[in-house]
Amino acid sequence: MKNCDAIIIGGSAGSLDVLLEVLPLIDNGIRFPIIIILHRMPGSDHLLSDLFASKARLTVKEIEEKEIIRNNIIYLAPSDYHLLIEKNHTFSLDHFEKVNYSRPSIDVAFQSAAEVYKNKLAGLLLSGANADGVAGLQFIKKMGGYVMIQDPKSATVSYMPAKAQMEVEVDMVLEPANIAAFINQLSKNKPS
């Protein structure tokens, strides 16, 4: 992928360890935003973003309503809200009903991002125990974007990436140890 304008990452059960391995290795100076949607219970948002911030070289922010999306920031979707990306490159948070038993839903966020970033979006689906994210990856692909999954063999809970592998034309299957280097390379690939 030569011209990535955003990376969106979805994860559920078993994805925390992967992110704690990946985030410290992402270069400061990344030339796109990194948007993370995790299935989680309300009540631990602040501690999670603080933990990520303590590990990452670049700024970690918990997403706020109407926030302008900027490059070189790791954005974390808050629990209990769906995450939407607006055409003017701002975030929107919505409390509508759960999708795939989830709020935030990875599918909702992936589809919304794909509508805005189209073929300049890269989506990555990590470990998880339900099918949320698979339809989102399909939509990213349909819009011309780049689709990546964590290697199901490496996932603590393989269901989510394995289902994606069966149902989506995946561009790249990544071991956790290779994810950060791949993201860094996507940034380097981007024309000045």
Partner 1 sequence: MKKVLIFDDNEELLELCTIILEEAGCKIKTSSNSDNADQQVIDYMPDIIFMDNWIPNISGIEATRIIKGNEATKHIPVIYFSANSHIKTLAKEAGADDFLAKPFDITDLENMVKKYT
Query: Catalytic residue positions?
Result: 12, 39, 132
Number of residues that bind partner 1 (CB under 8 A): 13
By the 8 A CB rule, do 38 and 18 touch?
Answer: no
Q: Which is nearer to partner 1, 48 or 168 (CB)?
A: 48
Which residue is listed with tokens 């709020």? 103
CA 80, 84, 90 angle in degrees (round to 5)? 120
Q: Which is nearer to partner 1, 10 or 123 (CB)?
A: 10
Residue 54 CB, nearest approach to partner 1 (Å) = 6
Determine the interface stretch with partner 1 among 47-55, 95-103, 164-172, 182-190 (rule: CB under 8 A): 47-55
Q: Does residue 20 bind partner 1 (CB under 8 A)?
A: yes
Q: Does residue 46 bind partner 1 (CB under 8 A)?
A: yes
Residue 40 CB, nearest approach to partner 1 (Å) = 5
Helix and strand totals (H; E) in the chain: 6, 9
Count of CB atoms within 10 A of residue 158's CB?
18
By the 8 A CB rule, do 108 and 137 touch?
Answer: no
**Residues in Cβ contact with 52 at an 8 Å cutoff, skipping those fewer than 6 apart:** 19, 20, 23, 60, 74, 76
**Residues in Cβ contact with 115 at an 8 Å cutoff, skipping those fewer than 6 apart:** 85, 143
Q: Which is nearer to partner 1, 51 or 93 (CB)?
A: 51
Q: Pick from 48, 63, 99, 160: which binds partner 1 (CB under 8 A)?
A: 48
Q: Which of residues 53-112 bind partner 1 (CB under 8 A)?
A: 54
Determine the interface stretch with partner 1 among 41-49, 80-88, 113-121, 123-131 (rule: CB under 8 A): 41-49
Helix (H) or strand (E) holding 121: strand 121-125
Count of CB atoms within 10 A of residue 4's CB?
22
Q: Does residue 44 bind partner 1 (CB under 8 A)?
A: yes
What is the contact surface with partner 1 in residues (CB under 8 A)? 16, 20, 40-41, 43-48, 50-51, 54
